[in-house]
């Protein structure tokens, strides 16, 4: 529980610094659990791309995401890589629309040099 609180605090800090944050890690490592701690899954701002209803809501992503305000969670975003350019435009264009993306398995090349939420235990 202590590590989860630490990661949640780091995540909140990252969201204050950046309009878009990706949470990356291996399967079953707690990414969705952290996302759910920030935003309820029944919120209109929560998308789970393993659910057909969320996929349908994102058929026109620029319109459906552009109308939302506040924190937006897109769980399993790696299933729709074509969303990344749209998220970039929406998160840098106007007003506060932080996008928080849960992703899995491996770090995409575009994120290779981003700051990690995980403590660097190799230096301990």
Tokens of 122: 């190799």
pLDDT, one tens digit per residue, over 6-52 is 888 988 888 888 888 888 888 888 888 888 888 888 999 999 999 99
pLDDT at 55 over 70: yes
- What pLDDT is attached to residue 44? 92
Higher pLDDT, 69 or 118: 69
Tokens of 10: 């780091």
Q: Given pLDDT bands bounded at 50, 70 and 90, which one contains residue 59? A: very high
DSSP 24: -
- What pLDDT is attached to residue 48? 92
Q: Are 78 and 72 in contact (CB under 8 A)?
A: no
Whole-angstrom Cα distance, residue 66 to residue 12? 22
Tokens of 117: 């939420």
Can you give the C-alpha Rg of the chain in angstroms? Answer: 14
Whole-angstrom Cα distance, residue 107 to residue 17? 20
pLDDT, one tens digit per residue, over 82-118 is 988 888 888 776 555 555 555 544 333 444 444 444 4
- Mean pLDDT for 47-74 is 90
Whole-angstrom Cα distance, residue 36 to residue 41? 6
Residue 47 has phi, psi (to 5 degrees) of -120, 125
- What pLDDT is attached to residue 95? 52
Q: Are 49 and 79 in contact (CB under 8 A)?
A: yes
């Amino acid at each position: 529980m202590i590590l989860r609180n630490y990661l949640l605090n780091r995540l909140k800090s990252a969201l204050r610094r950046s309009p878009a944050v990706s949470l990356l890690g291996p399967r079953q490592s707690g990414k969705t659990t952290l996302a759910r701690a920030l935003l309820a899954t029944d919120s209109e701002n929560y998308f789970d791309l393993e659910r057909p209803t969320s996929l349908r809501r994102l058929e026109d992503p620029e319109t459906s995401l552009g109308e939302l305000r506040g924190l937006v969670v897109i769980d399993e975003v790696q299933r729709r890589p074509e969303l990344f350019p749209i998220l970039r435009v929406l998160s840098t264009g106007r007003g506060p629309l932080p996008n928080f993306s849960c992703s899995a398995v491996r770090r995409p090349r575009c994120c290779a040099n981003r700051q990690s939420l995980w403590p660097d235990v190799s230096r301990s």
